[in-house]
Amino acid sequence: MLNTQHKKIELSDTEIDELGNDHVSSCYNTPLREDAFVKTDEQKIDIISQHFKTIMETLGLDLTDDSLKGTPLRVAKMYVKEVFQGLNPANKPSISMFDNKYKYKEMLVEKNISFYTYCEHHFVPIMGKAHIAYLNNGQVIGLSKLNRIVEYFAKRPQVQERLTMQIGKELENVLGTSDVAVLIDAKHLCVASRGVKDDTSSTITSYYGGVFKEQEKRDEFLKYVDINTEF
């Protein structure tokens, strides 16, 4: 079953696999079950650990080996407490806004925000950089909070298009303005390490709201992104 925003469509196993290979997203919001947060983190870790142990044993691995016997628990903790912690709204960063007392009216750009997320189709990493810009409407946000927003939405199984939109929509919400731009450039290990095994390509996605729908403002943003700011 593929869950879409409007209806459920019956698909064959082959069609579902092809959708995954083509990196198709089924909906804008991360698909979550209604009981997603009934279990505690500790309960989830215990269940995932047992299942991952079964996966490893099925592959033929000897879990009595000192190097392997702790792996199921380590993977379970990593999933719940680290790489997928953004699934839980309780982990959403607290955002404080400040009055723009210095009357800055130009574009603010935060570029090269590094992130790691996981492809929801194969559960392998996507790594890249996010570039963000906004024009304030009288209030500004702490720079580190822009990084926190990117990190929060990256810490869940993702499709790059959805990640880009979720960051853009959240910025519009917290900033109280639609004058927001997001550009993401990322490498997908599901493309690099399996399938076509292309480790040179990258994927670029964008989100433009408000004044950034105008070509002139968009070009200004892209010009800043292109500036070499390595120190």
The total number of structural domains in the chain stands at 2
Query: Do residues 24 and 79 share a domain?
Result: yes
Dihedral angle of Cα 156, 158, 162, 163, to the nearest 10 degrees: 60
Is the distance from CB of 159 to CB of 127 less than 8 angstroms? no
Q: Which residues contact 96 (CB under 8 A, 6 or more apart)?
A: 141, 142, 145
- What is this structure's pTM? 0.87
Nearest-CA neighbor of 91 among 83, 102, 101?
83
The residues that bridge with 114 in the sheet, in sequence order, are: 129
- Is 139 annotated as catalytic? no
- Is 215 annotated as catalytic? no
Query: Do residues 21 and 53 share a domain?
Result: yes
Q: What share of the chain is helix, strand, coil (3-state, %, to 5)?
A: 40, 20, 40
Q: Which helix (H) or strand (E) holds 161?
A: helix 160-175
Read off the CATH number of the domain in which 12 is found: 1.10.286.10
User: Of 160, 166, 170, 220, which is the active-site residue?
Assistant: 160
DSSP state of 198: -
Please say which residue of 60, 89, 118 terminates a domain.
89
- Is 119 annotated as catalytic? yes
User: Of 131, 151, 158, 188, which is the active-site residue?
Assistant: 188
Query: Do residues 133 and 194 share a domain?
Result: yes
- The boundaries of the domain holding residue 129 are 97-226
Q: Which residues contact 159 (CB under 8 A, 6 or more apart)?
A: 23, 24, 25, 119, 120, 121
d(CA 137, CA 148): 21
Is the distance from CB of 228 to CB of 184 less than 8 angstroms? no
User: Of 23, 121, 151, 220, which is the active-site residue?
Assistant: 121
Nearest-CA neighbor of 184 among 156, 210, 165, 211?
165
Give the number of C-alpha atoms closer than 13 A to the C-alpha of residue 56, restricted to the C-beta side.
21
Query: Do residues 176 and 219 share a domain?
Result: yes
The one-digit pLDDT tens for each residue of the chain (231 residues) are: 344 444 455 655 655 555 555 555 557 899 999 999 999 999 999 999 999 999 999 999 999 999 999 999 999 999 999 999 999 999 999 999 999 898 999 999 999 999 999 999 999 999 999 999 999 999 999 999 999 999 999 999 999 999 999 999 999 999 999 999 999 999 999 887 887 888 888 999 999 999 999 999 999 999 999 998 877
Is 231 within the bounds of a domain? no
Q: Please report the pLDDT score of residue 5 as a whole number.
A: 47
Read off the CATH number of the domain in which 165 is found: 3.30.1130.10
Query: Do residues 118 and 210 share a domain?
Result: yes
- Is 51 annotated as catalytic? no
